[in-house]
Structures are given as C-alpha cells and as structure tokens.
Amino acid sequence: MEFLNYFDNVFTVYHIALLVGGTFAGIILGALPGLSPTMSVALLIPFTFHMKPESGLILLGAMYTATVAGGAISAILVNVPGAPANIATALDGHKMAQNGKAKNALHYCFISSFVGGVFGVFILIFFTPPLAALSLKFMSTELFWVAILGITIIATLDSKSVIKGLLSGLFGLMLATIGEHPTNAVERFVFTEHLESGVHIVVGLIGLFAMPQVWNLLENFYAKKNQVFSATGDATLIESFKLVFSKLKALSIGSIIGSIIGIIPGAGGQIAGIVAYDQSKKVSSNRENYGKGEPEAIIAAESANNSMVGPSLIPLLTLSIPGSPTAAVLLGGLLIHGIFPGHDIFTKNPEVIWTFIDSLIIAQILMLVIGLFLSRHSKWIMKVPDNYMAVGILLLAVFGTYSIQNNYSDVLIMFTLGTLMYFGSKAGFSPVPVVLGLILGTMTEEKFLLGNLIGNAKGSSFQHFTSGTINIVLISLCIASIVYGVYSSRKSKKN
Amino acid sequence: MNSQIKLSTIIVTLVSAFLVYASFILGDSENYLFPRLISATIAILTIMLWFEKGEADKSTNFKDLMPGIAIASAFILLLKILGFYLASMIVFFTLVMYYTKPTESKDFWRVLLIKLGVAFVFTFALYGLFTLLLKVHTPEGLF
C-alpha cells in the first residue's frame, strides 16, 4: 500500500492545475479526428523539459488518459475514431448518434472509460513492484534480448507486413547509432554537421508522429467530410450511471480484457477495444443489437481501451518494453527526465513513480468530469478546420524540436524524418517500431557491447548470448512473436 | 508486385546497401560492430522483401500534398533568417489561404482579412506562451 503515501504530492495546486490542463487539452485533442494520442503526447514532451520529473510525468499521464477517452467523441459524432483505440466504439456509438442518442452514447463512453481506467491503474499499482523485482535477474545479455523482444513484438503487431515491421525497428536502431559511440565517443555516420549530435529521442518522436499528421491533414483537405451529429439525447447523468453499472458483464469483460491486453507489450488499445467488443457480443443476451446502437457494446469497448492505459505501463516501467505506441512515447519522456525503467525504479525514484501512478487515478476522475462537460460542446470542437490544425501542429512541432537543445539542425532532422516516414507509411512501414528502435537503441548497443566483452573473456560471445534460462526464453519469445506475426498477417490476407 | 511497391522496395534496397557500405567499408570493426550487426540483418530482410507478396499501397494525392510540403519547407528554411514568430505568421497565413475550401465565403477580401487576423492572434498567443510565460528560446533571425 506504498502508493497511498504519495497522494499528498498529487494534491498540490500546481499538480492539480497540470492534471486539469492535461485532461482538458487531451480530451479536445483526442476528439479532433486525425490527431492521435501518440502525437499529442509526443508534442507535449518538450513542454515538460523545464518541469520536475514528477510534474512532467503527471502532465503526460493526464494527456495519455484523456486522449484515449476523447477519441470516442469523434467516433460517436462523426464515425471517425479519434484514435485507433476507439474503432470498436464507432460501430455502435455512431449508430446511437444516428438514432438521436449521441448524448447517451457519450455518457456511457466516459463513465465506462472511468471504471475501466481506475481498474487498470489498480492493476498497474499491484503488478508493477513484483515484476520490477523479477527484472533484477536480468543482466546485460538478458537486457539486450528484452530490447530486441520489445522491438520484435511491436514490429510484428503494429505492421501488416512482418518484414516491413522488423525493418522499421532496425532502421530505428540504426538511427540511434548516428553520432557518438556510446563508450568511446568516436563519431559514426556523421556525413553532415547537422548529424553531429545524433538524432535526439524527442526530435525523432515529434518528427515521426507529428509531421505525418500534418501531411495527412493537408493531403486530404479537400476530401468530403462526414456529417457531424449534435450531442442530443434523452438521458440524464444519473440514468446513464445506473445503466452502465447495470451492465456489469460488459463492464467486467472490457476492464479485464483491456488490462490483460495492456500488459502484452505492443498490443495497445485498438486490439483491446475490438477483442472486448467481440467477447461481450458473444456472451450478451442483446447480441443481435450489436452494430445497431447497443449500449453494452460501447461500455465493453470503452472500458477496455481505457483499462489498457495503466497496465500498458507495467512492462514499460519494469522492462523498458511499452505496452502501447503511446507508452513508447512515455518511455522517451521518462528517459529525458533521467528515469531509467528497471528493477530499481521503485527504490531510486519512488517519489516520482508513485506520484505519477497516483496521479493517474485522479486523471481518471478528471477525465470523467471534464469529459462529460465537454461532450455537450463536442460538436464545435470537431469543426476546427483541417488547415488550421495542420499549421498549428507544424508550428508546435518546430517549436518543440528547437526548444530541446536550441539547435536548428534538430528542426531539419525532425522535418526530414517526418516527411520520409509519411511516404514510408504509404508503403506499409510503421513509425512505432522506428521510434522504439530509436529509444532503445543506445541501451541495446551498450548491453550488446558489454555482453560481447564478457562473452569474449569467457571464450565465446555467441554462447554467452544464447545460454541461460532467461536468454533462451527471451529468444524463444522473439521467434514466437515473429511466427505469430507471419501467421496472423497471412490469416488477415486470406480474410 | 505493383509499381508503387516496386519503387518502395527499390528505395529500401538502396538505403540498405548504403547502410551496409557505411558500416562495413567506411567504419572500423571496433566502433561499428553493432551497426554492422544491424545493417547485415537489414540486408537479409531487404532480400526477403523482394519475395514478399505485397498489397497495393495507399495512393498519394500529390496535387494537394506538394504545395503544403513546399510552403512548410520554405518556412523551415526561412526560420533562421526571419525568426520563429515572423516566419510562423507568414506560414500560418500562407497555408490557410492556399488551403481554402470552395464552400468558404466568396468574398475574397473578407476571407483574407479573417485569416490574416487569425494568423496574427495565433502567433501572438505563441509569443505569449513560449517567450513570456515559458521563457523558452526560439530561432531569432532578424526579429
């Protein structure tokens, strides 16, 4: 119950202001179609540079929580999910909007998101410390394989093509090798003066997530837009609460499935929402109404995608493997504040980590209150024109990148990387494995070099990397995730 | 393999070949050990990519995209000369003026004045937030 000791840190005027601001902005950004939670959190990271680590993490955590929930607003009113996590919500939520019950759908969405979210944070609280203790057994070779496993899982789950996913992750690792060698400071791949400082993690994050959104908004600017429905309906707040809590089966299925999928590295909210929707449909007595505007469907999907948020941080805090793409960005946020995930995270930085985790509970409460308030005015939020959004993101991306090191070269790198990624994504490459490769690159190389040194001293580097129970388990998991990726990609092509 | 996939595969192959060249030929074995491992794996996967049965890529609407990229590139290049705020105001106004929907008001001067006003207010808000409140440096240039 150590987490109870740090609630005082959350209840300061400054931190509450950060939570309210982060939640408010997060719901609006999540509600804007085309702006992903991952991009929102990436753009926010530079603003946290000058804050204390716990304050920065509180702001990022609030934004993460709120954008996932906010994405349901556009899913319901426009039939365009604000985030991939809200795809399942759109199936029945938009039907309810068409039936004149958008307000009811938005109520169900925020209430079930709150329940799922709180459930997920408690999973995070109780499962993280034991897993962190387990990571004590991980030495250099094990940590090398953990990083490779993280990239492999994200690469195979986040891409339609396993080969392209793995290539994306490896390109990310190569990006991390630009600049100084981690141990002897020799410059590598510095073909121009702009590459002298290498590719900073946040520069990569902003470039890979923000710039493609700018180009996407401009490319599709003249495309026909969907109709925006008003948040009308007959439900009072009390009736909505009663209805959500009367659907305990859907709520439990969503919360449990979301938490389990959250812990699986790389899986993310999209899978959580769809699996929970599917499972709740199977056991529901109203299954024939699924797809026609069934409240149970919204409750299952939304409780799942928000309960995923907390558990997605478990592999992140203990093993540096993010449970979702946005968690990968949060990993970058942790590293720039000098917090390194691992077995000693709760002993070296207990105040920072527990304050951050506690703040996630408060963020869920604020998400419920602010979300219910904003959902009344949500029609206007979605009327922000795409050209204004695009230029707003562009300016924030440039400012955020420059402010990291006051370096113009970073702006050039961000712009070039983002533009290349946009065209790369058209060819089936995903930015998430690239980012993870970039984030984990330095650590992976350091562990590789250390393991290689020890292995050579023992007589065989290869044997050192491939012996020991944990190493064998991790290598097997890498192979299993690739095999599963190939199998599921072939299956989806057949379907 | 359709032409777009073929083109992307050719580009990936060229990048992979360059990475292998830079790691194995330009770099020494001591400092480039890790990049060599990665670039060799990239090369193997690139060969496999040629045998992959790819799906048709999403087509790109270059007609609407390229003007945006051109304006944004000009903004990036002008940043150091004009400074962040002046360049931001110009790029804001230019982008929202260029990307105007036919459904917007037919009164050109009204649209122009509104967008100029929004560009000015937005840039001033950025100045207030970044320079006055957060006290963060931005590219200075002339202004």
Here the ipTM equals 0.92
Q: Tell me which residue in A47, A388, A445 faces B34 most closely, judged by beta carbons.
A: A445
> Average per-residue pLDDT in chain A?
86
Domain span holding position A466: 2-494
pLDDT at A430: 86
pLDDT band at B40 (very low <50, low <70, confident <90, very high): very high
**Which pLDDT tens digit goes with each residue over A144-171?**
998 898 888 878 876 778 999 999 999 9
Q: Which of residues 21-40 of B touch A (CB under 8 A)?
A: 22, 27, 31-35, 37-39
**Which pLDDT tens digit goes with each residue over A110-133?**
999 999 999 999 999 988 888 877
Q: How close does chain A come to B69, measured CA to CA in Å?
A: 7
Q: Which of B34, B51, B84 to mutate to test the interface with A (most CBs of A within 10 A)?
A: B34
Q: Which residue has the higher pLDDT, A477 or B5?
A: A477
- Tell me the whole-structure pTM to 2 decimals: 0.84
Average pLDDT over residues A423-445: 88
pLDDT at B96: 92
3-state secondary structure chain A: CHHHHHHHHHCCHHHHHHHHHHHHHHHHHHHCCCCCHHHHHHHHHHHHCCCCHHHHHHHHHHHHHHHHHHHHHHHHHCCCCCCHHHHHHHHHHHHHHHCCCHHHHHHHHHHHHHHHHHHHHHHHHHHHHHHHHHHHHCCHHHHHHHHHHHHHHHHHHHCCCHHHHHHHHHHHHHHHCCEECCCCCCEECCCCHHHCCCCCHHHHHHHHHHHHHHHHHHHCCCCCCCCCCCCCCCCCHHHHHHHHHHCHHHHHHHHHHHHHHHHCCCCHHHHHHHHHHHHHHHHCCCHHHCCCCCHHHHHHHHHHHHHCCCHHHHHHHHHCCCCCHHHHHHHHHHHHCCCCCCCCHHHHCHHHHHHHHHHHHHHHHHHHHHHHHHHHCHHHHCCCCHHHHHHHHHHHHHHHHHHHHCCHHHHHHHHHHHHHHHHHHHCCCCHHHHHHHHHHHHHHHHHHHHHHHHHHHHCCHHHHHHCCHHHHHHHHHHHHHHHHHHHHHHHHHHC
**Which pLDDT tens digit goes with each residue over A169-209?**
999 999 999 998 988 888 999 988 899 889 988 888 889 98
Q: Tell me which residue in B33, B48, B138 faces A163 most closely, judged by beta carbons.
A: B48
**Cβ pair B60:A47 closer than 8 A:** no
pLDDT at B54: 67
Average pLDDT over residues A413-439: 90
Give chain B positions within 8 Å (CB) of A171. Answer: 15, 42
Give chain B positions within 8 Å (CB) of A221. Answer: 64, 99, 101
Query: How many structural domains is chain A composed of?
Result: 1
**Which pLDDT tens digit goes with each residue over A221-277?**
888 666 666 666 777 888 889 999 999 999 999 999 999 888 876 666 667 888 888
Give chain A positions within 8 Å (CB) of B12. Answer: 167
Using a CB–CB cutoff of 8 Å, tell me whether B92 touches chain A.
yes
Using a CB–CB cutoff of 8 Å, tell me whether B75 touches chain A.
yes
Is the confidence at residue A311, as pLDDT, over 60? yes
**Cβ pair B64:A221 closer than 8 A:** yes
pLDDT at A445: 92
pLDDT band at A453 (very low <50, low <70, confident <90, very high): very high
pLDDT band at A325 (very low <50, low <70, confident <90, very high): confident
